[in-house]
Amino acid sequence: MRIVSLITAIAVVSILYILVFERDVLNGFSDGKDIQELANDLGDGPELNSEENVVNSKTEKDKKIISVVVIESSAKTIDSAVTLRGETAAARSVEVRSETSGQVINEPLRKGATISQGQVLCSLDPGTRQATLADAVAGLAEARARVPETQAKLDEAKARLTEAKINFNAANKLSEGGYASETRVASAKAAVRAAEASIASATAGFDSTRSNIQSAEASVAIAKKEIERISLTAPFNGILETDTAELGTLLQPGALCAKIIQLNPIKFVGFVPETELNRIIKGSTATAKLLNGKEIQGEVTFVSRSADQTTRTFRVEIEADNADLSISKGQTSEILIASDGTQAHLLPQSALTLNDNGALGVRTVDDNSKVLFFATDIIRDTMKGVWLKGLPDKATVIVLGQEYVTDGVEVQQIFQEVKN
């Protein structure tokens, strides 16, 4: 009984389904449609036993082409000035430090003051330095006064030696003729040796006198230098970066008196990447633009040949005139260094992509609608886009969809108008 009830329930449900959901099919059957048409209505697909339609459907899916947005780009000659971000720096900077001990006895100069070369910055108490110099001068005079005395002793010793040699020769000849004794010859010979010893002593005395003179001269020079050191002066024209030492300050050797910077000419310092290094030549014309809009013409004076170990960039210095001192140290600037022009394409940044090897570039479409990757170098980054080199003179560049295609893939091109 249960089985009969179950079969009855299934039949009722089937009939209700056909009446409710397949009403149109039943109406068509009642209107005389054939079995194939009804099957098409039920399956909403290819005709029964139509293998050809199934194959055609698969082929259409296999031939589905990806659409990409492209633009037509032509290379243009641009001013390929090397652009750097940098800052201003003093042409010269020095810390004036004391070389001796002493108390500052002059009023201090305040930072920002303009100073001239040779101007006294710090004056130290001379103390006993003048007395030391006077003593050294007196010692030098005394040493020089002894020169005639020692010279006379040397001349006297030389004369005695000459006399002793004459007496010795005479005694020797008389002894050979039997007219002089051996004692006389020996005495004359001893006189010669004594005269030679006197010359040696006189020569030593003369050399000692000369040494004393040199020592006295050195003492005078040291005393004079010590007096010079009590006046700390500016080595060049410039501006005080700090106050000079305060009145009454005791300066020891190495203590700071003041710091001076020179802002005319002004120096602009920037760092160039390795890829741009060979385009910068010493002596090239450069233009620096400050944040306030002021532009200054200058010249490249230094290009480093040693890279920074951290950034792997190379230091570049430009000097420019700053006679009015309107440019200060540490101002941010944009530096343009003149270089030869080059052919490049202006493309949106969104066109850039990476290939499977990690190379930066763009994907293009050739005449056969096939994708082709070109590695490129960025010459300049602007508000309108990036200037790239490494592409043909004319290229169809994919700007949207390049991430979904690879080399050799056929694509459908949707051209986008380039806005100037």
Report the side by side order of strands in the sheet with 76-78.
76-78, 342-347, 385-389, 377-382
Q: How many CA atoms lie within 13 A of 206 on its CB side?
A: 15
Which amino acid is residue 253, in one-letter code?
P
What's residue 55's pLDDT? Answer: 38
**The pLDDT of residue 13 is above 80:** no
**The pLDDT of residue 4 is above 70:** no
Question: Which has more pLDDT, 126 or 189?
Answer: 126
**The pLDDT of residue 305 is above 80:** yes
Of 71, 60, 45, whose CA–CA distance to 402 is shortest?
Answer: 71
Structure tokens at 363: 């994907």
**CATH number belonging to domain 129-228:** 1.10.287.620
Q: How far apart are CA 97 and CA 255, in angstroms?
A: 5
Structure tokens at 212: 């004393």
Domain boundaries, the chain: 2-60, 67-79+342-415, 129-228, 261-337
Domains 129-228 and 261-337 share a fold: no
Which top CATH class is 67-79+342-415? mainly beta
| pLDDT tens by residue, 150-159 | 777 777 777 7
**From 92-106, 169-183, 361-375, the region with the lowest mean pLDDT:** 169-183
Q: How far apart are CA 221 and CA 224, in angstroms?
A: 5
Q: How far apart are CA 14 and CA 271, in angstroms?
A: 83
Secondary structure of residue 255 in the 3-state scheme: coil
| pLDDT tens by residue, 228-261 | 999 999 999 999 999 999 999 999 999 999 999 9
- Mean pLDDT estimate for the chain: 81
Four-point Cα dihedral 94, 95, 101, 103, nearest 10: 110
| pLDDT tens by residue, 21-75 | 555 545 554 454 444 453 444 444 444 344 444 334 444 444 578 899 999 999 9
CA 330-331-334 angle, 5° bins:
125
Query: What kind of architecture, by CATH, is found in domain 261-337?
Result: Beta Barrel (2.40)
What's residue 164's pLDDT? Answer: 72
**The pLDDT of residue 369 is above 60:** yes
Q: How far apart are CA 173 and CA 185, in angstroms?
A: 9
Q: How far apart are CA 246 and CA 239, in angstroms?
A: 18
User: Could you check whether the bond before residue 265 is cis, i.e. omega within 30 degrees of 0?
Assistant: yes
Mean pLDDT of 381-389: 86
Mean pLDDT of 283-312: 90
pTM, 2 dp: 0.53
State residue 220 phi and psi, 5-degree precision.
-65, -45
What's residue 52's pLDDT? Answer: 44
| pLDDT tens by residue, 307-319 | 988 889 999 999 9
Question: Which has more pLDDT, 221 or 42?
Answer: 221
Q: Would strands 66-74 and 411-415 be described as parallel, antiparallel, or unpaired?
A: parallel
| pLDDT tens by residue, 80-123 | 678 889 999 999 999 999 999 999 999 999 999 999 999 999 99
213 band by pLDDT with thresholds 50, 70 and 90: confident
Residue 283 CA to its chain's centroid (Å): 17
Q: How far apart are CA 123 and CA 102, in angstroms?
A: 9
Other C-beta atoms closer than 10 Å to the C-beta of 17 total 10
- Residues of the chain with pLDDT > 70, as a percent, come to 79
Which residue reads 């002004």 in tokens?
A: 266
Across 288-307, b (16+ Cβ under 10 Å) vs e yields bebeeeeebebebbebeeee
Other C-beta atoms closer than 10 Å to the C-beta of 331 total 17
Please give the span between the terminal C-alpha atoms of the chain, in angstroms, as a whole number. Answer: 86
Q: How far apart are CA 102 and CA 222, in angstroms?
A: 16
| pLDDT tens by residue, 120-140 | 999 999 988 888 888 888 888
DSSP 3-19: HHHHHHHHHHHHHHHHH
DSSP 41-110: HHH-SSPTT-HHHHHHHHHHHHT--EEEEEEEEE-EEE--PEEEEEEEEEEEEEEEE-SS-EEB-SPPPP
| pLDDT tens by residue, 272-290 | 988 888 888 898 889 999 9
Q: How far apart are CA 193 and CA 397, in angstroms?
A: 110
181 band by pLDDT with thresholds 50, 70 and 90: low
Burial of 267 (0-12, 13-18, 19+ CB in 10 A): buried
Question: Which has more pLDDT, 303 or 18?
Answer: 303
Which residue reads 């009722």 in tokens?
A: 12
